[in-house]
Structures are given as C-alpha cells and as structure tokens.
Amino acid sequence: MKVGFARVSTNEQDLEVQLSKLSDFGCEKVFKGKQSGTSIKNDEKLKELIDFIREGDEVIVTRLDRLGRSLKTILDSIDNIHRKGACLNIIDGSLNTSNDNPFSNAMINLCGVFAQLERDLIKARTAEGRAEAKAKGKHLGRMPALKDQQARELFNAKLNGESISALARKYKVSRPTVHRTISRIKKIIEQSKSITL
C-alpha cells in the first residue's frame, strides 16, 4: 500500500501542492498536518503513520524534510519505517529506500544533513535580521490592533468603568486584545513614571 505524509509548518501555508503530488503518485492514504517539523504534534503524526504502515508498504513524501526539520527526526523516522518492513520514497529527491544499497543510504544521510543545514541557516539569518532590526529601533512581531491614541482612549474608558465586553464591541476587537491593550498602556505609564523619577 502507498501511504503519503504531507506537512507544512504554518496555517498560512498550503498543503494542496503536496497532496496533489501524493495523489498523482498513487497514495491510497495520506497523513497530513499543519505543524512545525520540530513540534510534538509532528512527532504524534509520524507515530500515527508508523503505527499504520505494514510490511511491504511504501511511505511517500514530496521532500525528505517533510518528515521533520532535524536530522535526528528524519533518520529516526526512516529507521522506524524500515523496522515495520516498509520503504520510503521521496518524490522530489528521486530516492527510494527499497533499493537497499550503500549509495541509497548515503544519499538519505546527505539529504538529511542538508535539510538540517538549510534550517540552521534560516534560523541564523532570522536571528541576524531580528538583531539588526532591534538595533535600528524597528518594531518586531505583529503590530498592535489599536493605534496608540485608540489604546489610550480604551484604557481611560476602562478606568471610567466600561466593561471589557463593551470595549471589545466598541473598538471591534476581541476581549483578549482589550486585555493586552490595557497591559500595554499600563506598561508605558509605568515606564514613563520611572524615567521622570
């Protein structure tokens, strides 16, 4: 039986390309998810896959790094697939572990190393970019839902007794956003007090 495994790292990414390729490759069942390759959720999905497959099955992925982002996760997954008597077929890498030979094994190890290297480079570049942006005083992360003026108005309204629910409706935001906004303005006020002291 051909069993597919599809994964994307975030909810914004689309699984459809992988699912289409796996379908074209003849997969009868596909395990899929939107989770980081280093997450517990990914480990759980892989375990579901391993528990499902039987001897003679073929596990198919579009790329080797779909199994996980760390070399250890990838190699452990391959070992577990082989222990069940199944093989791994990587579409984009044109690699099939049913060809149990030294060249095939070396290629799998190399692919895993490069998948990890790529992730480490991305992490390093991201960290450098964040450090540079921080040094320039740029805002990191999501922008607040309310502008400073609106946030102060909301804060004052809360001080005057308006409820969280009423403020959420008034500013067309969620209740957690109202709580975060109040905390943000409190922090700004406390910081300004400490500077003037």
* pLDDT value of position 58: 93
Q: Does residue 13 sit in the same domain as residue 88?
A: yes
Question: How does pLDDT run along the chain (197 residues), one tens digit per residue?
Answer: 999 999 887 655 678 889 999 999 999 999 988 776 566 787 888 899 999 999 999 999 998 888 877 777 888 888 899 899 999 888 886 677 776 667 666 766 776 677 667 767 777 877 887 777 777 766 555 667 788 889 899 999 999 999 999 999 998 889 988 998 999 888 888 877 765 55
Same domain, 44 and 73: yes
What six digits make up the tokens of 63?
Answer: 């790329």
87 and 159 both lie in a single domain: no
Residues 115 and 180 in one domain: no
Residue 23 annotated as catalytic: no
- Clarify whether residues 94 and 8 are in a common domain: yes
Q: Are residues 39 and 105 in the same domain?
A: no
Ranges of beta strands (E only) in 63-142 are 87-90, 95-96
Query: For residue 125, what are the contacts with CB-CB under 8 A and spacing of at least 6?
Result: none
User: 14-34: b or e for each residue (b if 16 or more CB lie within 10 Å)?
Assistant: eeeebbebbeeeebeebbbbe
Could you give the CA distance from residue 179 to residue 196 in angstroms, rounded to a whole number? Answer: 26
Total domains, the chain: 3
**pLDDT score recorded for residue 54:** 94
Query: What distance in Å separates the CA atoms of residue 113 and residue 123, rounded to the nearest whole number?
Result: 15
Name 30's Cβ contacts closer than 8 Å, sequence gap at least 6. 3, 4, 5, 6, 19, 22, 23
- Asked if 155 and 129 sit in the same domain, the reply is no
Annotated active-site residue in 9, 36, 39, 70:
9
**Boundaries of domain holding 75:** 2-98
This prediction's pTM: 0.54
Helix H or strand E segment including 72: helix 71-83
